Structure 1
Amino acid sequence: MSDLLDARSRRAKSTFLYPLLLLLLLACYFPSIISRALVEGDRYSKSCKNTIQGRHLLADDQGYVCGVLSINPLSGCCPQTSERFSCQGCNLSSQCCDSYEFCVSCCLNPSQTVKQLAVKMKVAKHATAGTYGSVFNYCTGRCRHNSASVVHENAYASEMHHCFSSQLNSSGLVMPHSEVESSDISIIIARKGESCTSACRSKGQTCILRRLLDLNKCEVLQKYLSCKGACVGSIGSDQPAEVIDSAPRHLHPGACLFTTKWAFLSCDGSHPYTRRLCPCA
């Protein structure tokens, strides 16, 4: 009889404990589930344009790149966990890429394309041609193959034939920007230890990453900075820049520095002993 009572008691306890444990689990995890759902719901409530044509990849108008099976079929958006503003397979100097989708994603990066210029650019050269109207339309239009990227009618001028630069010559190669002709940017000398992102923002502008290549030359550095300690090739995300006079001797006080590794070029880089030369727009 006592065994029967004990069994009933255990069943009663378990019947009470299981719902209690379930309530505790819900209390712990429910807020995070709801929060995540709200974030995703907010993203997917805003429909996206995307490149549509890719067999394996897509790029949406927020700059995300994802596999075709990852795209949200209702919103047309890539997951936010995807790569954003990715320049994978791109040459930032020529602004050309080996993949259409990454070309569009890279082009959508505000540091690569100035919105005010892109939306006003004509789709074609003739006088009656309309403008792109949006950065996404500009990027998808520029990154497609065009006659300037083809030679002999059936061969590409380069493996990187998806280009978003607005300056293509007849050979399909990007015409280099002349520093003297940089009417679309303001060249600003940042304060000691300040990044170009911060220096441009203080002027109500944005740092243009691709134009750092134009400034990463001794002749340009020597025009805007004193470069009393010569011009030295270096490696660092704070370059091109000038080393301040009060810097330790091993850092070459007064010297101008240009980076020999383009991959290190960054609008966000800074160093406590340098003043950066920044392209802003």
Structure 2
Amino acid sequence: MGTVINLTIFMAPTRGCKLDLQCCDSYEYCVSCCLNPSRTKETDVLKLKVARPVTSGTYRNVFDFCMGRCRHSSASVVHENAYASDFHHCFLLQQNSSGSADSGSGPRLDGINISIGRRGESCSSVCRAKGQSCVPSRLSVLNKCEILQKYMRCKSGCFSNLGPDQPAQVVDEAPSNLNPGACLYMQMDERLTCDGSHQHTRRLCPCA
């Protein structure tokens, strides 16, 4: 039997949600906020694939997108067994897999303190040192070459890679085979995590 959504809460869509983060503390509130045309554009949603493989279909409508997007993802979990925040139902549009930024990046970073970590430091640690928390749903917004190049030098270029410490920049002192000075983003947004770190990189972190 499918999930039943009480759409009467659409009359008060901001309840239980942090609209600056596009995340809510319940699945119903998330779907309700997501369905608001001012927050989710049908033209954007209908272009998105339901899953990563190129053979995947696209969403049929905004309701299908909101129903799927508001479910938990690995980005809302820390240590694989606990939620990073009570607001772990998020309807943020996922980026494409090219590492390029879209025109909506600015508004999605409102209220976010973008911080650069020290070598080998996780985003959880970076934000904690500032008296804040890492916002996992915003890692995908920073996970783009244009954003990395805005905050880091990326003197050796920007490349797709696979690692729990991304988005990040390889430190200049790293071994030559690790491409010192390069910025790294990950194509699989669902694997981004606040807790990842690497001894030879500095992370770009969303704190709030």
- Which position in structure 1 is the counterpart of 2:105? 179
Instruction: Find the partner of 1:159 among 46, 64, 81.
Output: 64
Q: How many angstroms apart in 2 are the aligned matches of 1:195 and 1:229? A: 22
Kept after mapping to 1: 8 A contact 2:119/2:199: yes
- In the alignment, structure 1 residue 255 sits paired with structure 2 residue 143: no
Higher helix share: 1
Between the aligned partners of 1:242 and 1:272, the Cα distance in structure 2 is 11
CA distance in structure 1 between the aligned counterparts of 2:162 and 2:4, rounded to whole angstroms: 30
How far, CA to CA, are the matches of 1:247 and 1:273 in structure 2?
6
What 5-or-longer segments of structure 2 have no aligned partner? 19-23, 43-59, 71-88, 94-101
Provide the aligned length of Structure 1 versus Structure 2. Answer: 150
Residue 210 of structure 1 deviates from its aligned partner by 1.4
1:194 equivalent in structure 2: 121
Larger Rg: 1
Q: Could you tell me how far apart the structure 2 residues matched to 1:243 and 1:198 are?
A: 18
The answer for the alignment partner of 1:132 in structure 2 is 15
User: Do structure 1's residue 268 and structure 2's residue 195 form an aligned pair?
Assistant: yes
Distance in 1 between residues matched to 2:195 and 2:4, nearest whole Å? 27
Q: In structure 2, what is the Cα distance between the partners aligned to 1:137 and 1:255? A: 37
Identity %, equivalent residues: 42
State the structure with bigger RCO (CA 8 A, min sep 6), 1 or 2.
2
When normalised by structure 1's length, the TM-score is: 0.45
SS of the residue 1:271 aligns to: coil
Identify if the C-alpha distance between structure 1 residues 167 and 219 changes in structure 2 by more than 3 Å, giving closer, same or farther.
closer
Once the two structures are TM-superposed, the CA of residue 167 in structure 1 deviates from its matched residue by: 7.4
Structure-1 separation of matches of 2:13 and 2:188: 39
Q: What does residue range 84-99 of structure 1 map to in structure 2 within 5 Å?
A: none
Q: Which AA in structure 2 matches 1:140?
A: E
TM-score, normalised via structure 2 length? 0.60
Judged with a 3 Å threshold, the aligned counterparts in structure 2 of structure 1 residues 249 and 158 are, in CA distance, closer, same or farther, namely: farther
